[in-house]
């Protein structure tokens, strides 16, 4: 067993269960419960389509939230005045190709592919395709998100328009 | 002024727009000729092609363009279409090149556009003159303080004349750099809005919508310690006063007393306590270089400038360079960059980028709601045959120099110029 476990003590199965649970919370707009999955120093990033590997301190991202701004983002998304997401979009996330890609001591690095379908009344279906890069850390026995990077494959955001929900 | 598009009655203080202007394919087709083929259209910033050989490919007024710097250092805008059969000769987004070789038959061009070689030249007759087959440059390319514009009308007035009063507001941006060198930061935001392009002109300078569309952004600012309440003793909708101004030739701007913080150079708590001394130092540099009054002009006001027809410079929480172009009557493609002083430290650059994202962009706390508003407008406009006119008369009873940022005087500037050019085209 020990050879299948990393320093954070996670197997791929545990990581997959965690990511699926996260996806279910986001699709259900249970955003407070989702936020509880993040560490107090969590960063959430959507890099620019033309610089997927860039550093948010040196390049203009689509989203680069520290935890404080992530808390504000969740507050905003729960407010009916967040017009871009009111009524809330219906989303459905497909998570696959989950891999543990690195072992950072107290945290692990995880990669996964995603397709997020977004539906709004009177609007075309929008398909967000890309991959996630996570840093997961174990806190009080449970995996938590220390960093979450949603990297879109499109050459530009284009017809997707905005990333107004949690991608 | 009465036309089929815009009806202005100064006696009654009414200004109405035909909604046909926002839905009609025929109007869009006419705009392409009357507006986009006659006006100076933003191409890019000189910093994007800093070194000889640097290139960027992009669309300018619907044309594929290579924006590049040739080996002699001259900035060029070449039409990206092989003189042989028309293919794009450069299909990469950006890079540094010694030449552009067409992938179809291998015609090869230098960065100044000259045709260098064609495979199998002996098959062409003696009359074939390579000098006549260089990549076609845009008819006119000029810059103002490193902002490059193209014009497809060879007889157009010089850019400097065209820009009129907009130059002063570009100066307020460029003077933020101690060396006068601003640069485009890496990372571009390219996204579509399902709305007519002119709605983004209006929205970029429309501060009337701030309290309603951007409630959640104002809450975010408030939670960060910014005072977002309008003062009680003045009839304002926003925490500070602002104006809407006519800059000539259809250009316009808002000009607001800042309440929302500025990387250059007005600290707010959202930047963090550790940034306070640094921002004060930026301010001292401005004062030492430009004097107290000019420094305050730059640091204590924020301005959203429209260069007619489709460039917005939003000098607010950061500096946004944003251009947009119609893909259809009800759809536009937006391209937006962050601009900052070239000599910014890494910490200052990081702060600028962070401040940018508090408001702007497709993942920001405000822009997605603007997009939602414009798309709601466009959907509502489907009733244009019955509900034929939009009202833009706010503030009309007041004189030109009393127009607030929450009035619509500055938007009327755009529409008058737009109407003039469309009427002139017949």
| Dist CA B350 CA B261 (whole Å) | 15
By CB atoms closer than 10 A (0-12, 13-18, 19+), residue B386 is exposed
pLDDT, residue B231, reads: 86
Q: In this structure, are residues A146 and A137 in contact, taking their beta carbons and an 8 Å threshold? A: yes
Asked whether residue A116 is domain-assigned, the answer is yes
Residue B318 and residue B330: Cα distance in Å, rounded? 29
Residues of chain A contacting B215 with CB distance shorter than 8 Å: 79, 81
Is the Cβ of A104 closer than 8 Å to some Cβ of chain B? no
Residue B314 has pLDDT above 90, yes or no: yes
d(CA B199, CA B374): 7
Q: What is the dihedral of CA B122, B128, B130, B135, to 10 degrees?
A: -120
- Kindly list the domain boundaries of chain B, sorted by start residue: 42-151, 164-424
Contact indicator for B154, B136 with CB cutoff of 8 Å: no
A71 vs B: CB within 8 A:
no
Closest alpha carbon to B67 in B135, B168, B164: B135
Contact B356 A60 (CB under 8 A): yes
End-to-end CA distance of chain B: 16
Q: What was the pLDDT predicted at B234?
A: 78
Q: What is the pLDDT of residue B353?
A: 97
pLDDT-derived band of residue B354, with 50, 70 and 90 as boundaries? Answer: very high
The reply to whether residue B189 touches residue A60, judged by beta carbons under 8 angstroms, is yes
* pLDDT over 70 at B1, yes or no: no
B417 pLDDT more than 80: yes
CATH code of B164-424, in short, is 3.90.380.10
Q: Which helix (H) or strand (E) holds B151?
A: strand B147-151
Q: Is residue A150 part of a domain?
A: yes
Nearest CB neighbour to A60, from listed B94, B185, B193: B185
- Asked whether the domain spanning B164-424 has the same topology as the one spanning B42-151, the reply is no
The full DSSP string for B331-377 is EEEEEEEEEEETT--HHHHHHHHHHHHHH-STTSSSHHHHHHHHHHH
| B142-170 mean pLDDT | 98
Is the residue at A141 inside a domain? yes
A133 in a structural domain: yes
List the domain range (segments joined by +) for residue A112.
2-154
DSSP conformational letter for B33 = I
Confirm whether A23 is domain-assigned.
Answer: yes
Token code pair at residue B361: 């962009």
Adjacent-strand bridge partners of B15 = B8
Q: Chain B interface residues facing chain A, Cβ-Cβ under 8 Å? A: 93-94, 185-194, 213, 215-217, 219-220, 223, 333, 337-338, 346, 349-350, 353-354, 356-358, 361-363, 365, 367-369, 371-373, 376, 379
Q: Do the Cβ atoms of B368 and A164 come within 8 Å?
A: yes
Q: Are B306 and B251 in contact (CB under 8 A)?
A: yes
Residue B67 Rama label (left phi>0; alpha psi -120 to 50; beta): beta
Helix axes B346-359, B215-223, angle to 10 degrees: 140
Q: Given an 8 Å threshold on Cβ–Cβ distance, is A62 in contact with B220? A: no
Tens digit of pLDDT at every position of chain A (167 positions): 344 456 677 999 999 999 999 999 999 999 999 999 999 999 999 999 999 999 999 999 999 999 999 999 999 999 999 999 999 999 999 999 999 999 877 899 999 999 999 999 988 899 999 999 999 999 988 999 999 999 999 999 999 999 999 99
Chain A positions touching B192 (Cβ under 8 A) are 157-159, 161
- Considering its fold, how many domains does chain A have in total? 1
Quick one: CA torsion of B320, B316, B403, B175, rounded to 10 degrees?
-80
DSSP chain A: -GGG--TT---HHHHHHHHHHHHHHHHTT-HHHHHTTEEEEEEEEE--TT-TT--TTTB--SEEE-HHHHHHHHHHHTSTT-GGGSSPPEEEEEEEEEEEEEE-SSEEEEEEEEEEEEE-TTS--EEEEEEEEEEEEEETTEEEEEEEEEEE-SSS-BTT----S--
Cβ proximity of B17 and B415 under 8 Å: yes
- Give the chain A residue nearest B220 (alpha carbons): A72
User: Would the pLDDT of B239 be above 90?
Assistant: no
Tokens 């409630």 -> residue: B215
CATH number at residue A84: 3.10.450.50
Residues in B touching A54 (Cβ below 8 Å): 186-187
When CB atoms are compared, the residue of A54, A62, A155 closest to B363 is A62
CA distance A70 to chain B (A): 11
Query: How confident is residue B402, by pLDDT bands cut at 50, 70 and 90?
Result: very high
**Residue B348 predicted with pLDDT over 80:** yes
The pLDDT assigned to A1 comes to 39
**pLDDT greater than 50 at residue B384:** yes
Least confident of B104-113, B224-233, B413-422: B224-233
**CATH label, B42-151, candidates 2.102.10.10, 3.30.300.30, 3.60.15.10, 3.30.2350.10:** 2.102.10.10
| pLDDT at position B39 over 70 | yes
Of all residues in chain B, the percent with pLDDT exceeding 70 is 100
Q: Which one of B186, B365, B379 has the shortest CB-CB distance to A76?
A: B365
Of A159, A163, A161, A137, the C-alpha closest to A151 is A163
pLDDT value for B244: 97
**Contact B357/A61, CB-based, under 8 Å?**
yes
């Amino acid at each position: 067993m020990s050879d299948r476990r990393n320093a954070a003590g996670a197997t791929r199965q545990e990581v997959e269960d965690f990511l699926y649970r996260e996806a279910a919370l986001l699709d259900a707009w249970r955003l407070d419960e989702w936020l509880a999955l993040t560490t107090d120093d969590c960063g959430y990033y959507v890099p620019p389509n033309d610089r997927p590997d860039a550093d948010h301190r040196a390049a203009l991202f689509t989203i680069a939230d520290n935890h404080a701004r992530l808390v504000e983002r969740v507050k905003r998304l729960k407010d009916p005045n967040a017009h871009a997401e009111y009524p809330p979009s219906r989303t459905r996330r497909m998570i696959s190709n989950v891999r543990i890609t690195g072992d950072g001591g107290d945290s692990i690095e995880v990669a996964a592919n995603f397709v997020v379908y977004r539906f709004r009344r009177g609007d075309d279906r929008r398909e967000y395709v890309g991959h996630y890069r996570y840093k997961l850390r174990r806190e009080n026995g449970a995996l938590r998100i220390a960093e979450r990077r949603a990297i879109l494959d499109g050459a530009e955001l284009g017809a997707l328009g905005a990333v107004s929900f949690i991608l | 002024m009465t036309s089929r598009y815009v009806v202005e009655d100064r006696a009654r203080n009414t200004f109405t727009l035909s909604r046909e202007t926002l839905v009609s394919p025929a109007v869009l087709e006419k705009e392409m000729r009357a507006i986009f083929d006659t006006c100076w259209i933003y191409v890019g910033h000189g910093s994007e092609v800093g070194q000889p050989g640097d290139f960027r490919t992009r669309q300018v007024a619907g044309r594929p363009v290579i924006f590049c710097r040739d080996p002699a250092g001259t900035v060029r805008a070449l039409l990206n279409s092989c003189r042989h059969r028309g293919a794009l000769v450069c299909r990469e987004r950006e890079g540094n090149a010694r030449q552009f070789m067409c992938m179809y038959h291998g015609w090869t061009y230098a960065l100044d556009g000259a045709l260098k070689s064609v495979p199998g030249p002996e098959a062409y007759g003696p009359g074939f003159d390579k000098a006549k087959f260089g990549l076609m440059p845009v008819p006119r390319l000029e810059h103002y303080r490193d902002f490059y514009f193209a014009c497809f009308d060879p007889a157009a007035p010089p850019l400097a004349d065209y820009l009129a009063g907009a130059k002063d507001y570009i100066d307020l941006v460029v003077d933020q750099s101690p060396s006068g060198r601003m640069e485009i930061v890496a990372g571009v935001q390219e996204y579509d809005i399902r709305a007519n392009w002119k709605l983004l002109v209006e929205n970029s300078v429309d501060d009337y919508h701030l309290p309603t569309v951007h409630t959640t952004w104002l809450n975010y600012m408030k939670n960060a310690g910014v005072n977002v309440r309008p003062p009680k003793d003045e009839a304002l909708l926003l925490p500070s006063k602002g104006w809407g101004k006519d800059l000539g030739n259809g250009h316009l701007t808002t000009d607001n007393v800042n309440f929302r913080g500025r990387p250059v150079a007005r600290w707010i708590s959202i930047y963090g306590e550790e940034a306070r001394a640094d921002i004060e130092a930026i301010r001292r540099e401005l004062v030492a270089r430009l004097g107290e009054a000019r420094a305050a002009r730059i640091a204590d006001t924020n301005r959203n400038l429209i260069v007619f027809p489709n460039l917005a410079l939003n000098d607010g929480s950061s500096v946004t360079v944003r251009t947009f172009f119609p893909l259809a009557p009800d759809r536009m493609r937006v391209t937006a960059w962050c601009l900052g002083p070239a000599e910014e430290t890494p910490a200052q650059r990081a702060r600028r980028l962070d401040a940018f994202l508090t408001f702007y962009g497709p993942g920001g706390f405000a822009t997605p709601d603007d997009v939602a508003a414009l798309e709601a407008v466009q959907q509502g406009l489907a009733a244009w045959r019955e509900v034929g006119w939009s009202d833009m008369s706010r503030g009309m009873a007041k004189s030109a120099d009393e127009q607030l940022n929450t009035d619509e005087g500055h938007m009327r500037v755009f529409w008058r110029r737009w109407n003039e050019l469309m009427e002139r085209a017949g």
